[in-house]
Amino acid sequence: MAMQPEAIGQNLLDWYAAHQRRLPWRETSDPWAIWISEVMLQQTQVATAIPYYHRFMHRFPTPRHLAGANVQEVLKLWEGLGYYSRARHLHRAAGVVVSRYHGQVPDDPAIFRTLPGVGDYIAAAVLSIAFGRVIAVVDGNVKRVLARLFELEHPVNRSGSHKFFQPLADRLITPHQPADFNQAMMELGALVCRPKNPDCGHCPLFGLCRANRNRTTADYPRRDAARKRPHRHLAIGVIVKEDKLLVVQRPMDGFLGGLWEFPAIPAMPGENADRAIETELADEIGLRIGMDRLLTRIRHAYTHFTLSADVYLCRYLSGRIRLKRAQSHRWVTFRSLQRLPLHKANHKFLEDLKNVLGKG
């Protein structure tokens, strides 16, 4: 493969110096700030992460601030950003940094890489950008750029492809400017070598790119076909007891771990709602409840399945809480709901709920 690493690196660095965006985490060299930004940017677009980054850094300016906080508060700041294990891992990692490394972010790859939530990408990004270590990042942008540059046949969404892309990126990285090279590759992928409608006319690697020369940019990167996503349906119960509503907290590990929600059970779309709510949902939380009426229906798309749910207004009848799956519960007013981290599917009917409760 005709690589010309020197030409690629120099063109890339020149382009980056002229065209890089001004981003909050580029105004600092604090490894903690860089780390936070990289975790938030994981599978998340820059524009989405920016307001979260500011709020998080303001509340947790150092690992010590985060380590001393309650997970609940951390999840509340993460609410809406998704992939909540990132927040829980970060919280745990901050604890390790404080207890074992005197609150200083480790600059040793072998050590930093062992922290919860730190994989190959985060380690390479933080250590190169904050400490100048010569380790190439390989993210979705880098794989797309390389796949087009060299017309690579490795599917970028296949886990086994990583061990092909990583050494290739390591061979291209400019040893004197690893931080700029890494960010330049990602910036190029984000601004020029985009997934759709790449702007090859303004690409610094125009003359070096095989896909451009062969008019095959649309064929790269290769990708394994995605599986079809299944569909799930829930019955959700908003259980009212005087002026309070019942919410439960999901188990800390797994899907939406640690977040709060209104109790729900799997259901069939056409199922008899009264029966399902008053037997199965009641059994899930250990109460006797009555179903009043349908509040609304919601739909939500997750990565691996789509969700639809019927949301029912219910009334508490009798009994003491006995939770099956949830780890804890609270009776809360509508107002105090906003203090708890709720996931998106629940936020989707809060307005409807507010209107109904407001009318008495």
Partner DNA sequence: AAATCGTGGAC
Partner DNA sequence: TGTCCAAGATT
Q: Kindly list the catalytic residues.
A: 38
Under the criterion CB under 7 A, does residue 70 sit at the interface with DNA? no
Q: Does 151 bind DNA (CB under 7 A)?
A: no
Q: Which of 85, 232, 331, 356 binds DNA (CB under 7 A)?
A: 85
Angle between helix axes 85-101 and 71-78 (nearest 10 degrees) is 130
Among 244, 300, 329, 330, binds DNA (CB under 7 A): 300
- b/e map of 53-64 (b: 16 or more CB within 10 Å)? beebbeebebbb
Residue 226 touching DNA (CB under 7 A): yes
Select the residue interacting with DNA from 102, 110, 159, 359 (CB under 7 A): 159
Cβ closest to DNA, residue 302 vs residue 334: 302
Q: Which CB sits closer to DNA, 307 or 323?
A: 307
Does residue 201 belong to the site contacting DNA (CB under 7 A)? no
Residue 186 within binding range of DNA, rule CB under 7 A: yes
Q: Which is nearer to DNA, 112 or 314 (CB)?
A: 112
Q: How far is the CB of 175 from DNA (least distance, A)?
A: 20
If one asks whether residue 27 binds DNA (CB under 7 A), the answer comes out as no
Q: Give the relative orientation of helices 31-40 and 46-59 as an angle to the nearest 10 degrees.
A: 140
Of positions 2, 18, 70, 196, contacts DNA by CB under 7 A: 196
Q: Assess 84 for contact with DNA (CB under 7 A).
A: yes
Which stretch, 65-73, 184-192, 204-212, 324-332, contacts DNA (CB under 7 A)? 184-192
The window from 61-69, 167-175, 294-302, 328-336 that contacts DNA (CB under 7 A) reads: 294-302
State the binding string over 100-139 for DNA (x if CB under 7 A, else -).
Answer: ----------------xxxxxxxx-x-------------x
Closest contact distance (angstroms) between CB of 179 and DNA is: 11
In angstroms, give the least distance from the CB of 117 to DNA. 4
Note the residues at the interface with DNA (CB under 7 A).
23, 25-26, 37-38, 41-48, 80-85, 89, 116-123, 125, 139-141, 144, 157-160, 183, 186-187, 189-190, 195-197, 223, 225-229, 254-257, 300-304, 343-345
